[in-house]
Structure 1
Amino acid sequence: MLRYIALRALLALLVAFTVSLAAFLLLNVAADPAQAIAGEDATQDVIDAIRARYGLDRPLAVRYFDWLGGVLHGDFGESYYWHQPVASLVWDRADETITLALSALTVTILIALPLGALAALNPNSWIDRFALGVAVSAQAVPNFWLGLIMIIVFGVTFPIFPVSGDDTWRHFVLPAFVLGASSVPAVMRLTRTGLIEVMSADYVRTARSKGFRGGALLRRHAMRNALLPVISVLAVQLGQKFGGSVITESIFAINGLGRLALESILGADIPTVQMLIFVFAIVFVTMNLIADILNAALDPRIRIG
């Protein structure tokens, strides 16, 4: 088990390193950072002064390894736009994004798992068709459109929840539903497919012969094996919530990492954008690593493989 965890952790580190390198190259090669900071109407003297001030006149490889060395020592650089350490910017806004991501994942679980279980227990029935209809609808509706509809319905027509800000838990209800709804189709379909497959297994038929039915059959015999692929998807979805919160946080005016990323892109703040991409990548690979470890703990065949 320890060897398996070590190999998966090494792979996660390699992925994070590759993402950091790709992000650095894209941000520094696709356009001139000094020109982006100075603006379109800036003179060449101003551009050269900015390039010298921020060390942009050094070779690309030197700048990358300086940045990577700073990251390893906890120094994420200074923001070009806000003129303060990037670490403090990310740290100050991380709580909002973490709260939103966990709330959205909770919404996904509360909707997708019961629907998937009901559909699996009643295949080809109206319940099954209703669950699949919900999944198709959630997949077809874009987040920005659903967010606007939620604001109109629950913020204007029926003013139940606040539609902007992040002061209380009520501010996270609508954005959590919007962000969580996008993950419902994948989780619901996997739950349904996994349970249908497991319910036809020999050990489940044996449990039925012993008198287990409904919820007891699911909890004690079917759900554990059926949830193996679901755990991986939930972990991936949680990682995606961090990077995919840009639109949702912008619509509901939540001062999280997603909105910080948008503001940094508009302000040509390369150090902040670069660090946010790295943070999102670290979160994503960490969630995948946790999913792999949980799957290996639940199914020894994965460790053997």
Structure 2
Amino acid sequence: MLRYIFLRGCLAILVAFTVSLAAFLLLNVASDPAQAIAGEDATADVVETIRARYGLDRPLTVRYFDWLGGVLQGDFGESYYWHKPVAALVADRLDETLTLALSALAVTIVIAIPLGALAALNPNSWIDRFALGVAVSAQAVPNFWLGLIMIIVFAVMIPIFPVSGDSTWRHFVLPAFVLGSSSVPAVMRLTRTGLIEVMGADYIRTARSKGFRGWQLLRRHALRNAILPVISVLAVQLGQKFGGSVITESIFAINGLGRLALESILGADIPTVQMLIFVFAIVFVAMNLLADILNAAIDPRIRIG
């Protein structure tokens, strides 16, 4: 098990390094950071002054390894837009995004897994068709449209929840539902397919012969083997919630990392955008690593293979 974790950890570090390099190149080669900071109407002298002030006149490799060395030491650089350490900006808004991401994942689990299980226990029935209809609807509706509809219905017409903000748990109900609903189709279909496949196995027939039925059969025998791919998808979805929270946080005015990313892009704040991409990538890689470890712990065949 330790060898498996070590190999997966090394692969995760390699992926994180590759993402950091790709993000740095895209932000510093695809466009001129000094020109972006100065603005389109800035003169050449102003652009050169900005380039010298922020060290953008140094070779690209030197700038990358300086940035990477700073990241490894906990120094994420200074924001061009807010003139504050990037680490402080990320730390100030991390709680909001983490709360939103975990709440959205909880919404996905509460809706998708029971629906998938019901559909698997009643294949080709109206329950199955209803579950598939919910999945198709959730996949077809864009987050920004659903967010606006939720605000109109549950914050304006029926004022149950606040329109915007992040000061109480009630502020996260609507955005968590909006962000979590986008993951329902994949998790629901995967749960349904996995359970239908498992329910035809020999050991399930043996369990039925012993008197196990319905949810008892599902919980004690079928779900353990069918849940492995679902765990991987949930971990990936949690990683995606961090990077995919930009639209949801903007609609509901939540001061999280997604909204910080949007503000940094609009303000041409290269260090903050670069660091946020790196943070989102690290979270995504870490969630995949966690999923691999959990799957290996549940199914010994994975770590032996």
Q: TM-score, normalised by structure 1?
A: 0.99
What is the rounded CA distance, in whole Å, between the counterparts of 2:163 and 2:254 in structure 1? 10
- The structure 1 segments of at least 4 consecutive aligned residues displaced by more than 6 Å after TM superposition are none
What is the rounded CA distance, in whole Å, between the counterparts of 1:94 and 1:205 in structure 2? 48
Deviation at 1:171, TM superposition (A): 0.2
Cross-structure match for 1:30: 30
Cross-structure match for 2:9: 9
Deviation at 1:300, TM superposition (A): 1.0
Cross-structure match for 2:279: 279
Cross-structure match for 2:257: 257
What are the Cα deviations for residues 208-242 of structure 1, in whole angstroms up to 9, with x where unaligned?
11111111111110100000000000000000000
What is the rounded CA distance, in whole Å, between the counterparts of 1:205 and 1:286 in structure 2? 38
User: Does 1:198 pair with 2:198?
Assistant: yes
Trace 1:48-67 onto structure 2 (pairs within 5 A): 48-67=48-67
- Structure 1 stretches lacking a partner, 5+ long: none
What is the rounded CA distance, in whole Å, between the counterparts of 1:128 and 1:209 in structure 2? 25
What is the rounded CA distance, in whole Å, between the counterparts of 1:219 and 1:258 in structure 2? 37
Identity among equivalent pairs (%): 89
2:106 aligned partner, one-letter code? T
Deviation at 1:303, TM superposition (A): 1.0
Give the aligned CA root-mean-square deviation in angstroms.
0.5
What is the rounded CA distance, in whole Å, between the counterparts of 2:115 and 2:219 in structure 1? 15
What is the rounded CA distance, in whole Å, between the counterparts of 1:158 and 1:205 in structure 2? 50
Paired residues, number: 305
What is the rounded CA distance, in whole Å, between the counterparts of 1:8 and 1:142 in structure 2? 34
What is the rounded CA distance, in whole Å, between the counterparts of 1:95 and 1:25 in structure 2? 29
Q: TM-score, normalised by structure 2?
A: 0.99
Cross-structure match for 1:166: 166
What is the rounded CA distance, in whole Å, between the counterparts of 1:268 and 1:193 in structure 2? 45
Cross-structure match for 1:218: 218
Trace 1:74-93 onto structure 2 (pairs within 5 A): 74-93=74-93
2:277 aligned partner, one-letter code? I
Deviation at 1:143, TM superposition (A): 0.4
Deviation at 1:248, TM superposition (A): 0.2
Deviation at 1:114, TM superposition (A): 0.4
What is the rounded CA distance, in whole Å, between the counterparts of 1:57 and 1:108 in structure 2? 47
1:2 aligned partner, one-letter code? L
SS of 2:42's equivalent in the other structure is coil
Deviation at 1:9, TM superposition (A): 0.5
Cross-structure match for 2:175: 175
1:87 aligned partner, one-letter code? A
2:136 aligned partner, one-letter code? V
What is the rounded CA distance, in whole Å, between the counterparts of 2:86 and 2:107 in structure 1? 31
Deviation at 1:14, TM superposition (A): 0.6
SS of 1:161's equivalent in the other structure is coil
What is the rounded CA distance, in whole Å, between the counterparts of 1:79 and 1:242 in structure 2? 20
Deviation at 1:260, TM superposition (A): 0.1
1:163 aligned partner, one-letter code? V
Cross-structure match for 1:208: 208
What is the rounded CA distance, in whole Å, between the counterparts of 2:193 and 2:39 in structure 1? 53
Deviation at 1:245, TM superposition (A): 0.1
What is the rounded CA distance, in whole Å, between the counterparts of 1:40 and 1:140 in structure 2? 38
- Structure 2 stretches lacking a partner, 5+ long: none
User: Does 1:137 pair with 2:137?
Assistant: yes
Deviation at 1:44, TM superposition (A): 1.0
SS of 1:211's equivalent in the other structure is coil
2:185 aligned partner, one-letter code? P
User: Does 1:46 pair with 2:46?
Assistant: yes
Deviation at 1:40, TM superposition (A): 1.0
2:291 aligned partner, one-letter code? A
What is the rounded CA distance, in whole Å, between the counterparts of 1:163 and 1:294 in structure 2? 38
SS of 2:189's equivalent in the other structure is helix
Cross-structure match for 2:71: 71
What are the Cα deviations for residues 75-94 of structure 1, in whole angstroms up to 9, with x where unaligned?
00000000000000000000
What are the Cα deviations for residues 168-210 of structure 1, in whole angstroms up to 9, with x where unaligned?
0000000000000000000000000000011111111111111
Deviation at 1:301, TM superposition (A): 1.1
Cross-structure match for 1:156: 156
SS of 1:176's equivalent in the other structure is helix
